[in-house]
């Protein structure tokens, strides 16, 4: 069976952007909504409400505002696009990344 689950085969493309007092909300074409604290993006945060409404998407993968020189890529909002195996390799190497999968300890007799 070839069923699609999750968003693994979806390319994240920006559809629209809106703002709350302290957040930026990015709507993707596949239906996802990404809500992020606006203070993580100081160049966007300093724009007025009217300036925030004047933006363009660049082929769905980029975002730029008429009143700002900064151009954002979708990865700026999603974070580094890595696979689970990338995290496993890095975690083993530097022991700093958290586990991506949380499972009950009892299942494996771990407590």
* Residue 108 pLDDT: 47
* Residue 100 pLDDT: 47
Residue 63: C-alpha distances to residues 17, 77, 91 (Å) = 9, 10, 32
Residue pLDDT, tens place only, 23-58? 999 999 999 999 999 999 999 999 999 999 999 999
Residue pLDDT, tens place only, 92-102? 566 554 444 44
* Residue 95 pLDDT: 57
Give the side-chain half-sphere CA count within 13 A for 59.
3
The residues, ordered by sequence, that sit 6+ positions from 11 with a Cβ below 8 Å of its Cβ are none
The whole-angstrom separation of Cα 66 and Cα 56 is: 8
pTM, 2 dp: 0.68
User: CB burial class (10 A; 0-12, 13-18, 19+) of residue 63?
Assistant: buried
């Amino acid at each position: 069976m070839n069923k699609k689950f999750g968003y693994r085969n979806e390319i994240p493309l920006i559809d629209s952007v809106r703002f709350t007092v302290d957040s930026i909300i990015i709507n993707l074409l596949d239906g996802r909504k990404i809500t992020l604290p606006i203070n993580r993006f100081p160049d966007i945060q300093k724009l007025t409400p009217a300036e925030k409404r004047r933006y363009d998407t660049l082929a769905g993968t980029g975002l730029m505002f008429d009143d700002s020189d900064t151009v954002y890529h979708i990865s700026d909002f999603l974070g580094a696009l890595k696979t689970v195996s990338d995290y496993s390799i890095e975690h083993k190497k530097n022991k700093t990344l958290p586990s991506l999968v949380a499972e009950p300890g009892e299942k494996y007799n771990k407590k």
